Amino acid sequence: MSAAASRRPAFARAAAAALLVATFAGCADVADRMPVRPAPEAAPTPSAPAGARGPLADQAARELVAGLRAQGHSERVARWLAATQTPDAAPLIVGNATRLLVDGPETYRAMFEAIAVGRRHVHLETYILAGDETGRRLADLLLERRRQGVRVSVLYDAIGAIGTPTEYFDRLRDGGVALCEFNPITPRSGRPVSLNHRDHRKILVVDGRIAYTGGVNISDVYSSGSASARRRSERGTGWRDTHIEIRGPAVAELQALFVGTWRRQGCPDLPDAAADSAPPPAVQGDRVLRVLASTPDDARNAIRDELLVAMGAAERSIHVTMAYFVPDPRMLETLEAAARRGVDVTLVLPGFSDFWAVLAAGRSHYARLLEAGVTIRERRDALLHAKTVVIDGVWATVGSANMDWRSFLHNDEVNIVVIGEGFGSEMERMFAADVERSVPVEAAAWSRRGLAERAKEGLARLLEYWL
Length of the chain: 467
143: helix, coil or strand?
helix
Catalytic residue among 103, 121, 123, 202: 202
Catalytic residue among 243, 387, 410, 456: 387
Q: Are 310 and 391 in contact (CB under 8 A)?
A: yes
What is the C-alpha separation between 206 and 152, in angstroms, rounded? 9
Burial (CB count <10 Å: 0-12, 13-18, 19+), residue 301: buried
Radius of gyration of the chain (CA): 21
Residue among 326, 313, 318, 312 at smallest CA distance from 408: 326
What is the C-alpha separation between 430 and 377, in angstroms, rounded? 15
CA count, 13 A, side-chain hemisphere, 119 = 1
Q: Is the dihedral of CA 387, 393, 396, 401 positive or negative?
A: negative
DSSP strand pairing (317-322 vs 387-391): antiparallel
DSSP symbols for 259-313 = HHHHHHTT-SS-S-THHHHSPPPPP--SEEEEEEEE-TTSSS-HHHHHHHHHHHH
Catalytic residue among 123, 132, 199, 200: 200
- Establish whether 392 is a catalytic residue: yes
What is the C-alpha separation between 431 and 416, in angstroms, rounded? 17
Q: Are 182 and 265 in contact (CB under 8 A)?
A: yes
Catalytic residue among 157, 199, 220, 392: 392
Catalytic residue among 121, 243, 319, 385: 385
What is the C-alpha separation between 404 and 358, in angstroms, rounded? 9
Residue among 431, 427, 339 at smallest CA distance from 377: 431
Q: Is the dihedral of CA 54, 55, 59, 65 positive or negative?
A: positive
- Establish whether 132 is a catalytic residue: no
Catalytic residue among 132, 199, 207, 305: 207
User: What is the number of other CB atoms lying within 10 angstroms of the CB of residue 285?
Assistant: 15
- Establish whether 387 is a catalytic residue: yes
- Establish whether 385 is a catalytic residue: yes
Q: Is the dihedral of CA 403, 389, 316, 91 positive or negative?
A: positive
Q: Are 387 and 323 in contact (CB under 8 A)?
A: yes
- Establish whether 202 is a catalytic residue: yes
Catalytic residues: 200, 202, 207, 385, 387, 392
